[in-house]
């Protein structure tokens, strides 16, 4: 499944840079909506104009949790993946009423249920602010560069975010080659309308994940509300009557999270030797813990389900990426391209300022190797895996940050980010004590393992306690209750500073340590890499020209491609599966058990209906939930995955085998109609 949530660790090496130097191959590219190469699709029979692109932009939305989605009715109905709504489905479930297991269908508006912690963003404008940023950073390096840039970004975002309903992000494209201000309309009242049973949403489960043929109904319908009523959304996708056919030109608009196609060799080696193994060891151990935890009782299974889904998905995705980087041929190509750019820089006096950039990045990554254990332990994993402890840190930091000038605050506390911060803090999403305990013990054990029992920070956190006894002490905190968090927040700095809540106390005690290593890491590693990847990017521009797309940044991109099979282990794989195939594959045992809704209605279902399909669109984690549509802007599918060859797509796109995997629009219609009897929704989307 394509979702950046897990992968969006605050690690520079995912910071985007330029894609592969060659001009993008057919179908390759995650193009911005103000930089789409219309001339390329012209050759394929259709050249979008600006009005078409604007309409796509406004009908495409983003879930801030890390997914994509689309507006599919004029009453705010939103189509996304089940796995993008899974956390909401789990949060609305109880021991007695498990919506993951049973599915959910609202009979009418009144039955639609609010998701406790979901926010949808609609991209209303893109403005070039490159000149403003470059104006203040000119000639600066390292910490000074970072400080000036962040201050200007905070100012630009503050000017833009006139109300809580507006979100403004300055997005760094081409790694500093360009800065664009993305203005979003925020929707925070999002309700669950329809979600099928896990059994059909994830039919085939982890074994089939990232594979094709597939047989999934990985869809969910949400609705945007305004003032307690369904929002009016004239900018929408319509629904295709006939679906797609093999070879057809199709588009995907969505928010790919991160790609590393423009990374230097040193950055790729860092990913291969340091970041990915470390992350994978962590995920593997977490997976082991969650698996046995979920097996203990039905209730624990429900509680752990969403985490387990993300952990398994992330594990498989990252292993694929590691395999890709262990391929010596890929690294050879990357090294060759890099040598070409370096040669150009060496021979052209105008490019002299870019000379030391590669070495500077390599040096910064050597510093990263030294600092990262401490940075992870104290800052990146410094809330010890606990949601409540996360709230504790937010409150403690907010108490300190709120009286600083906007431009000097930590970026997540600048004025433009406050609405999102508050929404998260007040979220009614349940916090499960048993799962919190599991994670606290794991993270605290790892903290001691990685820094060693004699480290002063470890001693400060654990004292004479074991991870188990400290977890139990921390779990006496009341921060799992939204009302308690509200009281502290409303009480302001003095209430937070005086609080004796055990998590607030611990967050206060360790905050200075965490800030110190964050500061070191950001100035000695991130800023240096940022500044120098900008130089590398410029050098690549100078060598290869500019007709290409920026690496992914979890902002809206448009990709074109076609419905097309591929070859796997020497055998052709056709682009469509049918519902009949799912019945053929079902064993009755999870994850290959069809839900009763399907087995009971088998006679009423048209088994020849296309079920899932593959296309050549260039997508990556974050594209989950993206609409797949034709030149008429009609939905023909719903992106939910990539095939196994897509996992290397982080580093480069291989059009011969890299495929996006989607739910066919005809299957969604057949399921909503013949299986779930959701006439109300069908009428709405087909209108």
Residues that bind a second copy (CB under 8 A): 204, 206-208, 211, 273, 277, 280-282, 284-293, 296, 319, 322, 326, 438, 448-449, 452-453, 463-466, 469, 587-592
Q: Please, what is the minimum distance in Å from the beta carbon of residue 205 to a second copy?
A: 9
Residue 627 near residue 78 (C-beta atoms within 8 A)? no
Q: Please, what is the minimum distance in Å from the beta carbon of residue 104 to a second copy?
A: 25
Q: Which is nearer to a second copy, 386 or 527 (CB)?
A: 386
Q: Please, what is the minimum distance in Å from the beta carbon of residue 438 to a second copy?
A: 7
Measured over the CA atoms of residue 669, residue 309, residue 14 and residue 149, the dihedral's sign is positive
Rounded CA separation 162/509 (Å):
36
Residues 331-356 as b/e (b if ≥16 CB within 10 A, e otherwise) read beebeebbeebbebbeeeeebeebee
Helix ranges restricted to H, 103-249: 130-137, 142-160, 198-201, 205-208
Q: Please, what is the minimum distance in Å from the beta carbon of residue 59 to a second copy?
A: 37
Q: Which is nearer to a second copy, 215 or 554 (CB)?
A: 215
Q: Please, what is the minimum distance in Å from the beta carbon of residue 292 to a second copy?
A: 4
Q: Which is nearer to a second copy, 277 or 492 (CB)?
A: 277
Q: Please, what is the minimum distance in Å from the beta carbon of residue 366 to a second copy?
A: 11
Q: Which is nearer to a second copy, 356 or 452 (CB)?
A: 452
Q: Please, what is the minimum distance in Å from the beta carbon of residue 107 to a second copy?
A: 34
Q: Which is nearer to a second copy, 328 or 500 (CB)?
A: 328
Q: What is the DSSP letter of 417?
A: G
Q: Please, what is the minimum distance in Å from the beta carbon of residue 551 to a second copy?
A: 26
Side-chain-side CA neighbours of 669 within 13 Å: the count stands at 20
Q: Please, what is the minimum distance in Å from the beta carbon of residue 72 to a second copy?
A: 33
Measured over the CA atoms of residue 241, residue 242, residue 244 and residue 249, the dihedral's sign is negative
DSSP assignments along 270-293, one per residue: HIIIIIHHHHHHHHHHHHHHHHHH
Q: Which is nearer to a second copy, 69 or 474 (CB)?
A: 474
Q: Which is nearer to a second copy, 296 or 547 (CB)?
A: 296
Rounded CA separation 215/208 (Å):
9
Residue among 322, 315, 67, 80 at smallest CA distance from 207: 315
Q: Which is nearer to a second copy, 322 or 675 (CB)?
A: 322
Rounded CA separation 218/203 (Å):
9
Rounded CA separation 364/527 (Å):
9
Rounded CA separation 553/15 (Å):
8
CA distances from 337 to 332, 352, 374 (A): 9, 19, 34
Q: Which is nearer to a second copy, 418 or 593 (CB)?
A: 593
573 φψ region: left (φ > 0), alpha (ψ -120 to 50), beta (else)? beta
């Amino acid at each position: 499944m394509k979702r950046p949530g897990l992968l969006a660790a605050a690690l520079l090496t995912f910071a985007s840079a330029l894609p592969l130097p060659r001009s993008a191959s057919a179908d390759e590219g995650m193009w911005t909506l103000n930089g789409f190469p219309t001339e390329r699709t012209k050759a394929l029979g259709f050249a979008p104009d600006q009005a078409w692109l604007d309409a796509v932009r406004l009908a495409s939305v983003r879930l801030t949790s890390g997914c994509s989605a689309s507006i599919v009715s004029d009453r705010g109905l939103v189509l996304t993946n089940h796995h993008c709504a899974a956390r909401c489905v789990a949060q609305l479930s109880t021991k007695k009423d498990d919506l993951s297991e049973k599915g959910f269908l609202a009979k009418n508006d009144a039955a639609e249920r609010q998701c406790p912690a979901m926010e949808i963003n609609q991209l209303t404008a893109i403005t070039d602010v490159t000149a403003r940023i470059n104006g203040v950073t000119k000639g600066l390096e390292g910490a000074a560069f970072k400080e000036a840039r962040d201050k200007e970004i905070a100012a630009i975002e503050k000017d833009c975010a006139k109300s809580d309903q507006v979100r403004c992000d300055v997005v760094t494209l081409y790694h500093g080659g360009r800065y664009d201000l993305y203005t979003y309309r925020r929707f925070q009242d999002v309700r669950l309308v329809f979600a099928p049973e896990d059994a059909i949403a994830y039919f085939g489960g982890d074994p089939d994940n990232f594979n094709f043929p597939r047989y999934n109904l990985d869809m969910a319908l949400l609705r945007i509300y305004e003032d307690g009523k369904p929002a009016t959304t004239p900018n929408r996708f319509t629904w295709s009557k006939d679906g797609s056919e093999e070879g057809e030109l199709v588009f995907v608009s969505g928010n790919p999270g991160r790609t590393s196609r423009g990374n230097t060799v040193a950055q790729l080696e860092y990913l291969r030797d340091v970041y990915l193994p470390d992350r994978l060891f962590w995920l593997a151990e977490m997976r082991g813990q969650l698996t046995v935890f979920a097996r203990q009782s039905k209730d624990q299974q429900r509680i752990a389900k969403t985490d387990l889904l993300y952990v398994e998905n992330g594990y498989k995705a990252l292993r694929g990426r590691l395999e890709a980087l262990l391929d010596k041929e890929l690294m050879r190509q990357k090294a060759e391209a890099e040598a070409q750019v370096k040669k150009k820089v060496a021979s052209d006096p105008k490019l002299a300022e870019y000379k030391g950039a590669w070495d500077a990045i390599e040096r910064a990554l050597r510093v990263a190797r030294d600092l990262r254990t401490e940075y992870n332990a104290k800052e990146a994993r410094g809330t010890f895996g606990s949601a409540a402890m996360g709230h504790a840190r937010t409150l403690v930091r907010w108490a300190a940050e709120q009286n600083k000038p906007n431009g000097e605050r930590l970026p997540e506390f600048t004025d433009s980010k406050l609405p999102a911060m508050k929404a998260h803090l007040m979220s009614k999403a349940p916090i499960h004590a048993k799962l919190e305990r599991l994670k606290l013990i794991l993270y605290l054990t790892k903290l001691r393992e990685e820094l060693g029992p004699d480290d002063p920070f470890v001693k400060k956190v654990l004292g004479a306690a074991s991870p188990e006894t400290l977890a139990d002490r921390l779990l006496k905190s009341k921060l799992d209750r939204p009302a308690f968090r509200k009281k502290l927040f409303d009480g302001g700095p003095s209430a937070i500073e005086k609080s004796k809540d055990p998590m607030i106390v611990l967050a206060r005690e360790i905050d200075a340590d965490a800030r110190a290593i964050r500061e070191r890491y950001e100035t000695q590693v991130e800023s240096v890499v940022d500044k120098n990847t900008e130089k590398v990017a410029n050098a690549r521009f100078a060598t290869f020209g500019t007709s290409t797309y920026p690496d992914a940044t979890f902002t809206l991109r448009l990709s074109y491609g076609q419905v097309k099979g591929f070859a796997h282990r020497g055998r052709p794989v056709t682009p469509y599966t049918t519902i009949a195939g799912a019945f053929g594959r079902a064993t009755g045992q999870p994850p290959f058990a069809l839900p009763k809704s399907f087995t009971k209605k088998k006679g009423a279902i048209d088994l020849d209906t296309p079920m899932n399909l593959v296309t050549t669109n260039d997508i990556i984690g974050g594209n989950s939930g993206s609409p797949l549509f034709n030149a008429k802007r009609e939905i023909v599918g719903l992106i939910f995955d990539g095939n196994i060859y897509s996992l290397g797509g982080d580093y480069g796109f291989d059009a011969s085998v890299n495929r996006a995997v989607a739910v066919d629009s005809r299957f969604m219609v057949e399921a909503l109609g013949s299986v779930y009897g959701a006439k109300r929704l069908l009428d709405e989307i087909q209108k």
